[in-house]
Chains A and B, each alone.
Chain A
Amino acid sequence: MSSTTINTPTGAARTMVLNMGPQHPSTHGVLRVLLELDGETVVKAVPDMGYLHTGIEKSCEAKTYSQAITLTDRLDYLAPLSNNLCYCLAVEKLLGLEVPKRAQYIRVLLTELTRIASHLVWLGTHAIDMGAMSVFLYCFREREDVLKIFEMVSGQRMMTSYFRIGGIALEPPPGWLERVARFVNVFPSRLAEYEDLLTRNRIWLSRLRGIGIIDSETAIAMGITGPSLRSTGVAYDVRKFFPYSSYDEFDFDVPTNTEGDCFARYLLRVAEMKESLKIVRQAMGKVPASGAIRTEAPGIVPPQREKMKTEMEALIYHFKIFTEGFSPPPGEVYQRIESPRGELGFFVASDGSPKPYRVKVRSPSFVNLQALPKLIEGRMIADVVACIGTIDIVLGEVDR
């Protein structure tokens, strides 16, 4: 949180300062934006955040590597599995662990479902910001189906912590793939419904088309990633550029657009949901019915429950992992993945002790939000809501 006044006022006598947020429904959390207005035109905008700063990076330094997974859920709370995945991949890279293929495919399947669920929340809340009430209810109906799948496999709808270092926490229950299949079969028709409601809707078009335009050069200079960058024609997708978790074995496209406006970002997210669905379908075919879900790494990955009852070593390792943890070799890694919002990065440094020396989260929301003034300065105040919405920020990961 910083100063309550705009530091460099343009100085014109006719301007006024409007304080938008932190308690404003369309700022999607506790974002505060100071708007200097000339009539209804935004002259200057200064985002102000930190209201949700909980010191997650500092807390990670006081927890063991496994305990810190639960904190990553709380960063981007609309896509907890993406955060779990990125953190686990970072620690696995630090340790040099290889994860069994079956676990990798399950991870891909679930993170793509997360992307769909996250985009659905975005679509619903953005539509409600723009005055389209009914889309919100439909989107949340479908999102609930995805959350029920998460609940089925991990026991939790949102704070899943399902991915663990070296694999996944539990064997998915029988019948879970049928549940996924049911969702995958019904979802395309639902997606078509939203497009019927919105894509050619005149109000939707006039609120979004030509609003919040950004060009590719500015977007790259501002570090924007994810759908907002791809809406300017740059096909940067971490899944294609730096493949992780066997993404290179999947066949999917990276949709791009060249308009760079709010409407382009809407179209892209809808297109991305379709691509995610494609990946989920392929992953369903790839996941073997049985096999290891965690890698064999004594002292790092917890042993199987059954082994603990018969083998002394397994019991000792179990005890050691859950009391003192494990110690990766000293060094540091940076792992990036494509989260629903853009490039999510975890920098994990180890000093050889059982607790991470430093965990830094490169959150896409934080970086993308920085471009907000560029999108709204010189535009009408009503466009501010459209621009905040289509950048798609989650304050949990902005403030960390």
Chain B
Amino acid sequence: MAEPEELQQDPIVQRLRAWDAQAVAEALDFRGECTIVVPRSHLRRVAELLAGAPDLAFNLLSDVTGVDCFPVEPRFELNYHMISIGHRAALRVRVRVHGSDPVVPSVTQVWPTANWHEREIFDLFGVRFEGHPDLRRILMPEDWEGHPLRKDYPVEGYR
């Protein structure tokens, strides 16, 4: 899909591409919200840059959302919603992972708040986070089978 011209001109997209040409796989715009799709291999470094560079300073990670696109592959989509309190800016970073290898590098070292968000996604989607200090279920009982927010998990649960 061809990227719209104005997104290529977006300062954040340009900044990231100048830093590493591979850092932004795709930039999307929907209803005025900018989404930057980052390859899994780059997530950790992009996160460090976004949080650490003074001209970006996305210091508050609001939320991490998992989406299951079953049966489409890459199946899992993780959306990191972050804001910069200093610059009054909001950004969404997206990572896509294949269902056969649902592992994503953890960003808890960059934003400690990601700890529980990642545990929740592990619990409800079964996506594992590499380098997470304490990856265990958070909402479901520890002996629960399956990951309820996956699309192949029935709403009523397994009977």
* Chain A contact residues, CB within 8 Å of chain B: 1-3, 7, 49-50, 53, 55, 57-59, 61-62, 93-94, 96, 220-223, 225, 234, 236, 241-242, 331-334, 336, 343, 345, 347, 349, 357-358, 360, 362, 366-367, 370, 399-400
Contact = CB atoms under 8 A, between A and B. Distances in A.
B81 to A, nearest CB: 5
A332 B79 contact: yes
Contacts of B115: 370
Interface residues of B, number: 36
B112 A221 contact: yes
B136 A2 contact: yes
Interface string B134-159: 10111111100000110000010000
A349 B83 CA distance: 20
Ordered nearest first, which 3 A-B pairs have the shortest CB separation? Answer: A223-B113, A362-B63, A50-B139
Contacts of A399: 139
B62 interface: yes
Contacts of A236: 60, 85
B142 A362 contact: no
A57 B60 CA distance: 24
A320 B116 CA distance: 41
A58 to B, nearest CB: 6
A50 B140 contact: yes
Contacts of B68: 358
Contact of A93 (B31, B113, B136): B31
A242 B90 CA distance: 9
Nearest to A1: B141
A347 B60 contact: no
B44 interface: no
Interface in B60-110: 60-63, 65-68, 79, 81, 83, 85, 88, 90, 92
